[in-house]
Amino acid sequence: MMVDKHPDNAGTLRWYAGVPIGTNPIILFDVIKLSFLLWCLTFFSIGLLQIFIDGMFVREQIKGAIGLANHLVILVWAVFFAVAFLFLRNRYVVLCRLDGEGAYCESMRRGWGSLSESFHWRAFAVKGPVKSSWGPGKSARKTVPWACWNKVCPRKTTRTILLKEGKVTVLRLYCPDGRCFEQAVDFLKGREPAKDDGNDRDR
């Protein structure tokens, strides 16, 4: 991790991390949630359509709806693993930066790299700087100003930090090692809004 000092002495944390995809428990849980929502949406949409057209939703129609929902979920997982392992070789790279303006994360395709990089389950160290193999301007970038989140949720086991606005995750930061993780958490905790204990409410 690189630590750059700003003129205002607030400091800037900047690091690169490799992020696994198909073996990443956080991403896998995202796909599980997506699959569940897709299954429910498909099943209940077919059920409501059958009731609207025929006035009933009988056993054979239920079986058909379940079969279609199952096939769609299988397709989602097949596409996910194909993209993760065949197209991206089970990893991409993120550039993360914390500074006086907010949190920044840029996701880039790794390119060929080392085969050993494809066998991680959590973020790992990569040498920077890294150029996206998608080409100039093809990386995915996101900036979250400090005013746009109110809670930091560190996940030590996966070395992941979630920035949340209420219950919504607005940014996910991956750290390549424990030292980077601790420094980033300390930096973010210093920016986390103070919790309202209810004593200073307007009367």
> What ranges do the domains of the chain cover?
2-21+89-189, 27-87
User: Which pLDDT score, from 0 to 100, does residue 6 have?
Assistant: 41
User: Which pLDDT score, from 0 to 100, does residue 193 have?
Assistant: 77
User: Which pLDDT score, from 0 to 100, does residue 4 have?
Assistant: 47
User: Which pLDDT score, from 0 to 100, does residue 202 have?
Assistant: 39
User: Which pLDDT score, from 0 to 100, does residue 167 have?
Assistant: 92
User: Which pLDDT score, from 0 to 100, does residue 8 have?
Assistant: 41
| Average pLDDT by stretches of 10, the chain with 203 residues | 45 93 97 98 94 87 95 98 94 94 92 82 84 60 93 96 95 96 95 62 38
User: Which pLDDT score, from 0 to 100, does residue 125 have?
Assistant: 93
For the chain, how are helix, strand and coil distributed in percent, rounded to 5?
40, 25, 35
**Distance, CA of 196 to CA of 179 (rounded, Å):** 30
Residue 198: partners with Cβ closer than 8 Å, 6 or more residues away? none
User: Which pLDDT score, from 0 to 100, does residue 5 have?
Assistant: 38
**Distance, CA of 161 to CA of 178 (rounded, Å):** 12
Helix (H) or strand (E) holding 40: helix 25-54
User: Which pLDDT score, from 0 to 100, does residue 111 have?
Assistant: 75
User: Which pLDDT score, from 0 to 100, does residue 203 have?
Assistant: 35
User: Which pLDDT score, from 0 to 100, does residue 7 have?
Assistant: 37
Q: Supply the CATH classification number for the domain 2-21+89-189.
A: 2.30.29
Residue 14: partners with Cβ closer than 8 Å, 6 or more residues away? 1, 2, 3, 4, 95, 96, 97, 98
Given a contact cutoff of 8 angstroms between Cβ atoms, the answer to whether 100 and 10 are in contact is: yes
